[in-house]
Structure 1
Amino acid sequence: MADDARRSRLTACASEACRMLCLDSGGGRPRKRCSRRRCGNQDKAAGHRLRASAR
């Protein structure tokens, strides 16, 4: 990653259980998770369980 512009878009996954790095595409909202399949789905499912238990 010698390109400074690309290096500035490199972020760590927001999941506490993951240590992956991801490259934000730069369009729209900033990327928080490494991928929907890996960490995003777990985070989405945990949020659903939390909301369902609050009912």
Structure 2
Amino acid sequence: MRDGLVAREVEPTVPPQVTYSLTPLGSELVGTVGCPRRVGHATDRPDPRRP
């Protein structure tokens, strides 16, 4: 798309079929974007104030 991270391909069918995929640049960022999420899950603890 516009940022070059996702590619969009439209098939000329009825209804149109749209396929999205990561570009090589988007694939490079997968590890970087997922890192804070993994850290958050690794440090997630139950809240003792919640039943």
Q: Which band: TM-score by shorter chain?
A: 0.3 to 0.5
Q: Larger radius of gyration, structure 1 or 2?
A: 2
Normalised to the residue count of structure 1, the TM-score between the two structures is 0.39
Higher helix fraction (1 or 2): 1
